[in-house]
Amino acid sequence: MAKKILIFDTTLRDGEQSPGASLTSSEKLLIAKQLAKLGVDIIEAGFPITSESDFESVKQIAEEVKGPIICGLARAMKGDIDRAWEAVKYAERPRIHTFVATSQIHIDKKLRKSQDEVIEMVIEAVRHAKSLCSDVEFSPEDAARTDIRYMCSVVEAAINAGATTINIPDTVGYAEPEEFGNRIKGVFENLGGLIDYHKVVISVHCHDDLGLSVANSLAGVMNGATQVECTINGIGERAGNASLEEFVMNLKTRSDYFADYYTSINTKEIFATSQMVSNLTGLLVQRNKAIVGRNAFAHEAGIHQHGMLKDKKTYEIMDASDVGWRGEHIVIGKHSGRHAVENTLSEMGYGLDAVQIDSVMERIKTLADKSKEVVKEDIIAIATDVLGQVASNEEIVKLVDYSISSGNEKQTSACVVLQVNGEEKKGSSQGVGPVDALSKAITGLTYPLTLKEYHLNAITGGTNALAHVTILVEDDSGTIFSADGISEDIVKASALALVKGLNKAWNFLKK
């Protein structure tokens, strides 16, 4: 009988730890609802102790998202665990996930404790979590670099203390597939009786530092793990996490090889979920990304095109529709109805309210009046921008006006008019091109931010395409924020992105 592999999605926790991938509470809720629609079994909604906003976000997801288990992360500390429980206890099925480092380098350099002291920490933390919540997950952090015998001692202690799921993480992406598979096999060889007696789920959580996160996750499953922790688009700290879509489509596409395993993922929601996470985090999906990249189902070479015309299976091992790839353009004009727009947004997981839909419709009609064909990609971009504006805790800075002066023989200068806390301010600066000049003028009037990354994407191509500018900005404390701006004008899109970044930074400072 085939085993169900539980999908534990940590996009909103580990994924959001990607530099610049900070999300507002309403954006997190939107993603969580889409993850439920995708069919994930567990949503790790956040790390409640880290900030008041993260706590409130996890609490809101626990209250409003139905279906998946809602999990909160906590260090092996009473305060962390209490805070996590306060956030997740509103869920239909809550879970507390607690962890402590077990590799010798972490014990010596970070914890500065003995191995026995770490085991005592594990027992106390799991027991306390269990006194609050029946579903407790424990992770020995940096397990892949932990002595296997000591790791099994830690796992044994956690199970005896009440853990219902044991997660074995390759925290720094160090393991090789055969090696990692053998580690999971070793857990069952040493503790199989205890695992069976307590009906404990063994999980894996793999990072992609050596590009092996999905391969290691598959190796873990082949050796007995029945839960895989992953993220949409593989986002996460450093090189990221195991990609949900890649892991799931391996099982589905190679069902001949993985005949003993299945998931509950509705694969037709993969593309919509990928696009939503990319749009809201500002982390663009590379064109050649497996499963969801723009080139994943594109064929340019003549020999490939010839084969595709004869039979798609000559060069496509998956059908694009299996992952919900919607390549067709839905064209919207100024006379198009609200229903068509709402339907398009609903298909892509955007459950906007009536006020937000009104704002989207107004911008679509303005765009259509300029003789621009508005297609599905434009609608999603506009909706994402509207959501970002409405989701801001407070719009401290508003763009009133700007002008750019540049030429072949002179340095570019920018003049801006901003409204800051209701007061109008004017400023100007020079720079290397309009974006540099604008950035200096805007931040000079407000709050010092450094533009770390700048990406420009013409959403549908052509000279009249909507410009989507995505930026990463850094404040003087080293905190990085992502922001984006959308307009038919590249310079305006850049200015809007900079202003949005400023608002994010200021709202963060107020927390």
Counting every residue, how long is the chain? Answer: 511
Termini Cα distance of the chain: 51
Beta-carbon count within 10 A of 186 CB: 16
Show the tokens assigned to 53.
Answer: 């906003």
**Residue 157, C-beta contacts closer than 8 angstroms, at least 6 positions apart:** 119, 122, 123, 126
**Residue 428, C-beta contacts closer than 8 angstroms, at least 6 positions apart:** 413, 414, 415, 416, 441
Domain 397-510, architecture per CATH: 2-Layer Sandwich (3.30)
Helices (H) and strands (E) in the chain, counts: 16, 16
Ordered by start, the domain boundaries in the chain are: 3-281, 297-323, 338-391, 397-510
480-487 vs 3-4, strand pairing mode: unpaired
Q: How far apart are CA 473 and CA 451, in angstroms?
A: 5
Q: How far apart are CA 178 and CA 187, in angstroms?
A: 14
* Same fold: 3-281 with 397-510: no
Q: What is the pLDDT of residue 507?
A: 74
pLDDT one digit per residue (tens) for the chain, 511 residues: 899 999 999 999 998 877 667 788 888 999 999 999 999 999 999 999 998 989 999 999 999 999 999 999 999 999 999 999 999 999 999 999 999 999 999 999 999 999 999 999 999 999 999 999 999 999 999 999 999 999 999 999 999 999 999 999 999 999 999 999 999 999 999 999 999 999 999 999 999 999 999 999 999 999 999 999 999 999 999 999 999 999 999 999 999 999 999 999 999 999 999 999 998 888 889 989 999 987 887 644 444 444 444 556 666 788 888 898 865 445 665 556 677 788 778 877 787 888 888 888 888 787 777 656 677 777 877 887 777 664 445 678 889 999 999 877 678 999 999 998 888 999 899 988 888 898 888 888 887 888 888 888 777 666 667 788 888 888 888 888 878 888 888 888 898 888 888 888 877 766 5
Show the tokens assigned to 42.
Answer: 């567990």
Burial group, residue 510, by CB count within 10 angstroms (0-12, 13-18, 19+)? exposed
Q: What is the pLDDT of residue 197?
A: 97
Any idea which residue has 């990072």 for tokens?
A: 207
Q: What is the 3-state secondary structure (H, E, C) of 166-210?
A: EEEEECCCCCCHHHHHHHHHHHHHHHHHHHHHHCCEEEEEEECCC
> Which run of H or E residues covers position 391?
helix 376-391
Q: How far apart are CA 511 and CA 507, in angstroms?
A: 7
- Per DSSP, the three-state class of 483 is strand
Show the tokens assigned to 118.
Answer: 């770490």
**Residue 300, C-beta contacts closer than 8 angstroms, at least 6 positions apart:** none
**Residue 473, C-beta contacts closer than 8 angstroms, at least 6 positions apart:** 449, 450, 451, 452, 480, 481, 483, 498, 501, 502, 505
Tens digits of per-residue pLDDT, 33-72?
A: 999 999 999 999 999 999 898 999 999 999 999 999 999 9
Q: What is the pLDDT of residue 240?
A: 95
Q: Is the dihedral of CA 262, 264, 267, 272 positive or negative?
A: negative
The number of CA neighbours under 13 Å toward the Cβ of 64 is 17
Find the radius of gyration of the CA atoms of the chain.
Answer: 24
∠ CA 478-485-17, rounded to 5°: 35
* Interaxial angle between packed helices 52-64 and 78-88, expressed in degrees from 0 to 180 and rounded to the nearest 10: 40
- Class level of CATH domain 3-281: alpha beta
Kindly provide the residue ranges of all beta strands, DSSP E only, lying in 3-152, ordered along the sequence: 3-4, 6-9, 42-46, 69-75, 94-101, 136-141
Chain centre distance of CA 279: 10
DSSP classification of residue 2: P
Buried b (16+ CB within 10 A) or exposed e, 257-282: ebeebebebebebbbbbbbbbbbbbb
Q: How far apart are CA 463 and CA 140, in angstroms?
A: 53
* For the chain, percent of residues with pLDDT exceeding 90: 55
Q: How far apart are CA 47 and CA 65, in angstroms?
A: 17
- Per DSSP, the three-state class of 71 is strand
Q: What is the DSSP string of 274-303?
A: HHHHHHHH--PPPTT-TTTSTTTT---SHH
DSSP classification of residue 373: P
Q: What is the pLDDT of residue 489?
A: 87
Q: Cα–Cα distances in Å, from 446 out to 317, 396, 432? A: 52, 10, 20
Q: What is the pLDDT of residue 104?
A: 96
Buried b (16+ CB within 10 A) or exposed e, 24-48: bbbbbbbbbbbbbebbbbbbbbbbb
- pTM equals 0.82
